[in-house]
Amino acid sequence: MKRRGFTLIELLVVVAIISLLLAILLPSLGRARRQARTAGCLSNMRSLEVAHQMYMSEWNNWFVDVGYAHGSDIGLDQKLSWIRTLEAAYGQELLCQSPADDSPHWAPELGGQGVPVPGLDPDAYPFRRSSYGVNNVLTQAAAPFNPHTGRKYDYWRLEKVPRPALTVHFVYMAEEGQFAAADHPHVENWQFGNLWQLVPQNAAQQLELNAHGGPPKSFESVTNYGFLDGHAETLRFGAVWRTKEENRFWPEAVY
């Protein structure tokens, strides 16, 4: 009995059906992968906040401090970095590398490309240490100066923050640039005068504003934020910053 093979038309139909199915499925798979990365990053950030709650209970409600400088290896005490102090309080290694983090500045042994962060000493440790940083307004070492008193703002204790559940604590640091190896941003440098429209562009030099969606350098950029009460959320930048007088980084401006 003579066996009948596929005709050219039948093969073309099969190829067309497979192509159509791939066109339908690939975007869904891409969205599922992005959602999984966002969820994994959110889980990391919640763990950091749990560790911070443990740290505060041990240190009379004082907040963890920062120690890694940006743009150079000079200026802060690396032994004070929240990464070191939180691990000591938590009793185990913290998950500081987000599954969404594609920074080229991770060391090769951590799956990175081993590209040194600009400004860091290549003979020391010039690579990214964490995807996450602490809101510098809530620290001692990197707190902004109050122009009226000439002294640093002192929001580094829980009693000083009126609305912890609405105050941003952990952030997702920029994957490239001089802040890629820092453990904190500088929120006070985001808005000058009444130019609130430029805040996303300035903040994006320090934070990866669209790590989890949305356009870059925009109030519509989406990333994860941890809050002082211990929870974490995936939010638009516009949900945590309106103006310098209304935002969730400065305790007295929280809305």
Q: For residue range 62-90, list pLDDT tens digits in order.
A: 999 999 989 877 778 888 899 999 988 88
Tell whether the model's pLDDT for residue 111 goes beyond 60.
yes
pTM: 0.87
Question: Which residues, including other chains, have CB under 8 Å from residue 67's CB and lie 6 or more apart?
Answer: 76, 77, 78, 79, 80, 81, 82, 84, 141, 183
Residue holding tokens 């910053």? 241
Residue 127 near residue 107 (C-beta atoms within 8 A): yes
Quick one: 167 exposed, middle or buried, by C-beta within 10 A (0-12, 13-18, 19+)? buried
Tell whether the model's pLDDT for residue 224 goes beyond 80.
yes
Tell whether the model's pLDDT for residue 28 goes beyond 80.
no
Indicate the domain borders of the chain: 9-253
CA angle (236 as vertex; 37, 47 as ends), nearest 5: 45
* Other beta carbons within 10 Å of 166: 15
Average pLDDT, the chain: 92
d(CA 126, CA 178): 11
d(CA 16, CA 166): 52
**Total residues belonging to the chain:** 255
Residue 168 near residue 229 (C-beta atoms within 8 A): no
Nearest to 51 by CA among 130, 127, 162: 130
* Other beta carbons within 10 Å of 73: 16
Tell whether the model's pLDDT for residue 1 goes beyond 60.
no
